Chain A
Amino acid sequence: MSTILELDGVTKNFVKRLDAAAKLARRLGADVKEEVVHAVDGVSLKIAAGEVVGLVGESGCGKSTLGRMVAGIMEPTAGDIRYKDRIVSAMEKQAGRETALAIQMIFQDPFASLNPRMRVQDIIGEAPILHGVTSRADAADYVAQVMERVGLDPEYRKRYPHQFSGGQRQRIGIARALAVKPEFLVCDEAIAALDVSIQAQVINLFMDLREDLDLTYLFISHDLSVVEHISDRVVIMYLGRIVEIASTEDIFDSANHPYTQALLNEVPRLDVRGFDYQPIAGEIPSPLDPPPGCHFHPRCPHATARCREERPQLREIAPGRVSACHLNDG
């Protein structure tokens, strides 16, 4: 399979600028520095065409920021994003626009991501008309066709978002993304806000769309059961860094990184009854002040002196499998 998307050392820093009082204090000699959050810290990843890659991590690990950079909503501070072997930030206008259309994003909250004052036909139809995917004259038919594709009754195209349930709204969001004929979908917690039975409907819809339209997915979620169900490959992030990448089977059957192992151990499962929870010690450290060396060492049961000092690199531990842990050095 050919690589459709490649991230090379992608980094995103957020800087909290000093306010007037802090600037004054610094001028008077106080030790005040700008605070920098390394939301995404040197991430490299290749995604093949037609693949579903699950991106997993806890709050604050940078998975949404990464997704936004892939979707072109944010620019990386450093590093390159290549789409079909071309660096996105260096593309000329036309190619840049085509790439922006080719990569679409579906958001978590179907209540916040749709304009409440627009009718469904405009929400779905606006972008394809603007970008010439369809003409204004054919727009009504085109919108009806896209709505049917995601399981919405085209009868409802004159309604407003508030007249739909949560599951239907998420379908509107999906229809809006599909309307510009994308090749790559970034789903950021796209089913987290939905009820169990509706979740199943939307997951099945994603699987159908993948088959019918040859889509590639970056599926961001904190829900490991959903990721296990839907993904071909899984990427685990912790505090801005990737700690492990492997096939879904390898991750769930024989996780390598201690963080992945701990995370999997906490996932409630239907077939495990009367489970004795053995919590991971401690909290996720603040990304403002991440621990040195391996970010996970303060919570890791196997941490050694080396883990406290040296950042472990992502290394291949088996074909198609990488992990960032000093333990793999034997």
Chain B
Amino acid sequence: MTDDTPTLQVENLETHFFTKDGVAKAVDGVSFSVGRGEIMGLVGESGSGKSVTGFSILGLVDPPGKVVGGKVLFQGTDLLSLDDEGLRRLRGNRIAMIFQDPMMTLNPVLRVDTQMIETVRAHDPSVSVDEARARSRDALGQVGIPSPDERLRAYPHQFSGGMRQRVAIAIALLNKPDLIIADEPTTALDVTIQGQILYEAQKLCRDTGTALIWITHDLAVIAGLADKISVMYAGRIVEQGALDEVLDHPAHPYTRGLLGSVPGHNTRGKRLYQIPGMTPSLLKLPKGCAFKDRCPHADQACEDAPEITRPVEGRALRCVHPQVDLAGVAS
């Protein structure tokens, strides 16, 4: 493996859910890559397939869902070809996941130290219990938990919500993973706690070269955190590129709609742009471009599903009516 191999490269990932009402293509041909120390924001609304993308990478999709195609290359190894044991070795070790609800990670009937020591020793039995405890204490300190020695002996219910999420993050950091997938980890938290966690995430990626995929619906969080961004709609990536490029020159009507509907400083007292209609059901997607029924620019050309185009280096777009002349912007 050379240095410029991305930490994670996802190619044409397809995850389908086989329900009794038909096949829902929750992830439909998603591709992206994340390099060492890079932070990618994966943005979308409920049902866009952003969380399922994260679960698919880790092999956590349960029936009736199934990964039916594509490649997930982690440091060159295709995760989809690994058996359960191979995946288990990687999960919690080289790849970690942080969930929206920290109680997905934490066991309510075990003390925090038991859980943390187990995490260390499951992947490296040669580490002594004392050493694992010391590492756990350091990890708690790293995420800003005061008096970590005492807190190690506590149970999850003795922590506040923000603290619990920090414990879950500390567990994710324990084995210094090369990749972290974070699924809406701050959505349920207060702004000041969110600030603390974003701060830790940023520091981690800078200091240790961990690659991070931050899944969220909150564009403002991504703006402050990520290096690049992928926008998903109805199971597909509709726009992708460097953060500033996409936020400053959004080309897809959906991205533009999302950005326009974020309230804040510049919208005070004005009407927000609103995308008409709502997200279509994956079982009843319109033919052609999935966004066309809500799109102000849709016409005959949108009846055929648009292919991914790469108008400029590092930018991907799935739209036949880009709203910005990207080549013009680049030059």
Contacts and interface: CB of A to CB of B under 8 A. Distances in A.
Interface of A: 58-59, 165-168, 195-201, 203-204, 207, 222, 224-226, 228-230, 248, 252, 262-263, 265-280, 282-284
Interface string B261-280: 11111111101111100110
Contact of B263 (A230, A262, A273, A284): A230
Nearest first, the 3 A-B pairs at minimum CB distance are A200-B261, A229-B263, A275-B224
Contacts of B191: 58, 222, 224, 263, 266-267
Nearest to A286: B160
Contact of A198 (B144, B146, B224, B278): B278
B75 interface: no
A132 to B, nearest CB: 35
B234 to A, nearest CB: 13
Given A229-B272, A279-B196, A200 B263 contact: yes
Interface in B158-207: 160-163, 190-196, 198-199, 202
B13 to A, nearest CB: 23
Interface string B236-271: 000000011001000000000111111111111101
A225 B262 contact: yes
Nearest to A231: B268
Given A197-B258, A280-B192, A269 B274 contact: no
Contacts of B160: 283-284
B23 interface: no
A276 B202 CA distance: 8
B220 interface: yes
Contacts of B279: 195, 197
A51 B4 CA distance: 57
25 contacts: A166-B46, A168-B278, A196-B261, A197-B45, A197-B261, A197-B279, A200-B262, A228-B265, A229-B263, A229-B269, A252-B265, A262-B192, A266-B191, A266-B192, A266-B194, A267-B191, A267-B220, A268-B218, A270-B264, A271-B223, A273-B223, A277-B202, A279-B192, A280-B192, A283-B162
Contacts of A267: 191, 220
Contacts of A203: 263, 272
Given A200-B263, A200-B273, A228-B264, A268 B192 contact: no
Report which residue of B144, B163, B194, B261 has the largest number of chain A beta carbons within 10 angstroms of its beta carbon.
B261
A228 to B, nearest CB: 6
A224 B265 CA distance: 10
Given A275-B198, A276-B199, 10 more contacts: A59-B161, A197-B45, A198-B45, A198-B278, A203-B263, A207-B271, A262-B192, A273-B224, A279-B144, A283-B160
Contacts of A196: 45, 217-219, 258, 261-262
Contacts of A204: 271-272, 274
A197 B253 CA distance: 13
A152 to B, nearest CB: 12
Contacts of B195: 265-266, 277-280
B263 A228 contact: yes
B265 A58 contact: no
Chain B binding surface SS class:
helix
Interface bin, chain B: 35 or more
B221 interface: yes
A277 B224 contact: yes
Contacts of A226: 263
B268 A273 contact: no
Given A196-B262, A197-B275, A230-B263, A270 B219 contact: yes
A263 B161 CA distance: 18
A197 B192 contact: no
A167 B47 CA distance: 14
Nearest to B262: A270
A270 B223 contact: yes
Nearest to B191: A266
Nearest to B188: A59
Report which residue of B45, B224, B260, B262 has the largest number of chain A beta carbons within 10 angstroms of its beta carbon.
B224
Nearest to A280: B192
Contacts of B273: 200
Contact of A270 (B162, B247, B275): B247
A265 B260 CA distance: 22
B46 A268 contact: no
B257 A59 contact: no
A201 B244 CA distance: 26
Contacts of A59: 161, 190
Given A200-B263, A226-B263, A270-B264, A167 B278 contact: yes
B243 to A, nearest CB: 6
Contacts of B61: none
Given A195-B217, A196-B219, A272-B223, A225 B263 contact: yes
